[in-house]
């Protein structure tokens, strides 16, 4: 009787080592691809979030500048990142070229009104530094110090320094009032601190009304875009252009009133990880058309 035995084959040591090496290399490649994809995905998400903040800030700037009721003007910031203002807290006109570029832009926005002026003011040249108005109702918010009162019919514009009295007899004290052009005769004394024109409420030609405006501005300081309107808040960070604002000019050099402002905003991630996945730069620019100008001064 013959006994048959089945030969059993197996891998040699060399084959086992080669197979293990191939599996290891493939595993490392798969891990590298997954790791790279995860890092790039996280970085792209972060970049898209930062870019979205910049786009939202750009849209709000365009909307705010389009809604300005005064002609915007360019402003500067100091070495500490603060907007340079005058004694009344109003931003000063840029010391650089009138058309820019500059670090910021200031303008006025509508706040409330129209409000009825309920009493006559003193005759020139003595005049006075306040007006009395009636608000729509007892629940209406009072004007705030730092806002600006505008009387279009009399070319009176001034910064509000004090608010007293009830809603139906509200006394608003003003300062920093430019003289209208042409200059009134007789001129108020002293000019700038008293109303430049007399207001008469019982002339029979209708009510004399005024409205309240907010002094607003955008500025770039320390790579941060700041928005100010009755308070300051940060809009977006990582700004790479320190002077993004300008005012378009005509070929003759005059202000181009069709477009009141031009914005050239750029952002980039100023710090990145050791993996050297640096975020891309984003460039946003545009010109803002004029909608309505209700004030003569700033």
13-67 pLDDT, tens digit each: 777 788 888 888 888 888 888 888 887 777 766 666 666 777 788 788 888 888 8
Q: Which stretches of the chain are DSSP H helices?
A: 13-66
- State the Cα–Cα distance between residues 111 and 294, nearest whole angstrom: 13
Kindly report the pTM of this predicted structure.
0.72
For residue 124, the model assigns a pLDDT of 78
For residue 211, the model assigns a pLDDT of 92
DSSP β-bridge partners for residue 109 = 214
- What single-letter DSSP state applies at residue 58? H
Taking CA atoms, 20 is separated from 24, 28, 157, in Å, by 6, 12, 85
**148 pLDDT tier (thresholds 50, 70, 90):** very high
For residue 142, the model assigns a pLDDT of 92
Which has more pLDDT, 205 or 254? 205
Which has more pLDDT, 198 or 190? 198
- State the Cα–Cα distance between residues 229 and 233, nearest whole angstrom: 9
**Residue among 130, 117, 129 nearest 191 (CA):** 129
| Average pLDDT over the chain, rounded to an integer | 79
- The string of DSSP codes covering 16-41 is HHHHHHHHHHHHHHHHHHHHHHHHHH
- State the Cα–Cα distance between residues 172 and 177, nearest whole angstrom: 13
Half-sphere exposure of 294 (CA within 13 A, CB side): 22
The answer to whether 131 touches 175, Cβ cutoff 8 Å, is: no
For residue 277, the model assigns a pLDDT of 44
Cα 269 → chain centroid: 21
For residue 171, the model assigns a pLDDT of 92
- State the Cα–Cα distance between residues 10 and 226, nearest whole angstrom: 74
Strands 73-75 and 170-175: unpaired
- State the Cα–Cα distance between residues 89 and 214, nearest whole angstrom: 12
Which has more pLDDT, 233 or 290? 233
The answer for residues whose C-beta is within 8 angstroms of residue 213's C-beta and 6 or more apart is 69, 70, 108, 109, 110, 111, 147, 148, 149, 150, 295
Q: What are the residue ranges spanned by the domains of the chain? A: 11-108+215-298, 119-200
């Amino acid at each position: 009787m013959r006994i048959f035995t089945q030969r059993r084959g197996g891998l040699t040591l060399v084959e086992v080592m080669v197979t293990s090496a191939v599996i290891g290399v493939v595993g490392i490649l798969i891990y590298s691809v997954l790791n790279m994809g995860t890092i790039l995905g996280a970085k792209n998400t972060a970049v898209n979030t930062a870019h979205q903040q910049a786009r939202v800030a750009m849209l709000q700037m365009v909307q705010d500048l389009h809604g300005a009721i005064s002609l915007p003007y360019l402003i500067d910031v100091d070495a500490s990142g603060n907007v340079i203002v005058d004694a009344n807290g109003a931003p000063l006109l840029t010391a650089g070229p009138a058309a820019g570029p500059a670090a910021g832009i200031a303008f006025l926005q509508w706040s409330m009104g129209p409000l009825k002026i309920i009493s006559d003011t003193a005759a020139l040249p003595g005049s006075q530094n306040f007006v009395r108005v009636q608000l729509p109702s007892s629940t209406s918010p009072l004007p705030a110090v730092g806002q600006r009162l505008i009387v279009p019919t009399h070319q009176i514009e001034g910064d509000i320094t004090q608010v007293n009295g009830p809603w139906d007899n509200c006394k608003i004290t003003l300062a920093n009032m430019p003289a209208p052009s042409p200059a009134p005769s007789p001129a108020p004394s002293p000019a700038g601190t008293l109303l430049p024109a007399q207001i008469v409420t019982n002339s029979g030609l209708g009510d004399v009304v005024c409205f309240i405006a907010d002094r607003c501005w955008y500025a770039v300081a320390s790579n941060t875009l700041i928005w100010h309107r009755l308070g300051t808040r940060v809009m977006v960070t990582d700004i790479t252009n320190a002077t993004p604002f300008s005012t378009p000019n005509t070929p003759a050099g005059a202000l181009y009133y069709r477009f009141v402002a031009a914005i050239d905003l750029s952002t980039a991630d100023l710090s990145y990880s050791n993996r050297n996945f640096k975020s891309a730069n984003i460039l946003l620019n545009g010109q803002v058309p004029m909608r309505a100008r209700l004030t003569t001064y700033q």
